[in-house]
Amino acid sequence: MAQAGHAAAFRRETPARAFSRERVTGAGFRAGVIAVTLLALWGLWELYRFIWVETGWTWPFPVNGTTMPHVHTIFKAFDQQSRFDGPLLISVLLRAALFTGKEALVGFLMGASIGFVIAVGLVHSRLAQRAFLPYIVASQTIPMLAVAPMVVVWLQAGWLSVSVIAAYLTFFPVAINTLRGLQSADPRAHELLGTYAASRWKVLWHLRVPASLPYLFSALKVSATASVVGAIIGELPSSIEGGLGGAILNFNQYYSLVPQNLWATNLIAAALGIIFFLGVVILEKLVVRRAPVQTA
């Protein structure tokens, strides 16, 4: 008892250590949560299938091997040849994911950099904000399917044009959120730097940018997944076949014969998006130093 009390007091006194300890126990706990969630989703899918097949319900759609293949059928598809005499589906999809991943990563980096530069430009000029912000917003109201063919026409079909399409989706949340973040610093902190007669660049580098990081990272999380979607969509008008977009188009055509191939492709695409997302989360943990949110 006395020891437990001592430990509690110790934890209160050194928040940094208490924190890392919670993180360690938290990692195992979180892995468990993920596993249980996946199992539950699997169960729900199969339960739904079972009920609809047994009762013959047709609303909202009739359930059969084509509309909803078994989860195990989808996973088994990874281990089968995607076409006669071809390589295994999993190796086809992994190669496609790598290809699309490269396009998405380059697009993400381009878009994030452009978005950041736009935000830095706009934060220093109210006039520029008023002049350009409406068009930046308008750029996102144009459907991707209308922009993509034009990019292909300008840059010619290739992975770089796909990256540009991905960047087009990425830059917007970064620009808007970073702009907000650059303006988020405490006015007294600005006053403090004013007493040092700090230059605009010093204020930007030492105050605005660090203050903007939490905003930047929440935008990057949105953009990370958006860049994957952008890359997949961008592959369609470019007629690029080596990526996930090409695989989706291809397996879409054979859906009535082997629906599990399209489902398997979707799983890989989702996994790619999650990897991008996690990459940003890890980067954020390394970069952003903030007061921990009080939980107790």
List residues near another protein by CB under 8 A.
15-16, 186, 188-189, 191-198, 202, 206-207, 210, 213, 288-292
Q: Give the single-character DSSP code of 83.
A: S
Judged by DSSP in three states, 188 sits in helix
Between 126 and 188, whose beta carbon lies closer to another protein?
Answer: 188
Tokens of 133: 């912000």
Minimum CB–partner distance for residue 276 and another protein (Å): 25
The Cα-based distances of 190 to 158, 194, 245, 247 in angstroms read: 46, 6, 48, 52
User: Is the CB of 212 or the CB of 227 nearer to another protein?
Assistant: 212
**Nearest approach, Cβ of 180 to another protein (angstroms)?**
17
SS3 of 81, please? strand
Q: In 3D, which of 199, 212, 185 has the Cα closest to residue 112? A: 212
- The Cβ of residue 101 has, within 10 Å, a number of other Cβ atoms equal to 20
Name the nearest CA neighbour of 280 among 207, 185, 177.
Answer: 177
Which residue type does 82 have? S
Is 132:120 a contact under the CB 8 Å cutoff? no
Whose CA is closest to 252, among 262, 244, 266, 260? 262
| Choice between 126 and 289, CB closer to another protein | 289
How far apart are CB 120 and another protein at their closest, in Å? 18
| Least CB distance to another protein at residue 218 (A) | 16
Nearer to another protein, 160 or 204 (CB): 204
Q: What residues pair up with 88 in beta bridges, in sequence order?
A: 81
Which CB, 210 or 242, lies closer to another protein?
A: 210
237, 249 in Cβ contact below 8 A? no
Closest separation between CB of residue 189 and another protein, Å?
6
Residue 272, SS3 per DSSP: helix
Q: Which is nearer to another protein, 253 or 295 (CB)?
A: 295
Closer CB to another protein, 197 or 296, in the complex: 197
Please answer whether residues 288 and 295 qualify as being in contact, where contact means their C-beta atoms are separated by less than 8 angstroms.
no
Q: Which of 163, 211, 151 is nearest to 184 (CA)?
A: 211
Q: CA-to-CA distance for 174 and 222, rounded, in angstroms? A: 9
Nearer to another protein, 155 or 198 (CB): 198
| Least Cβ distance, residue 5 to another protein (angstroms) | 22
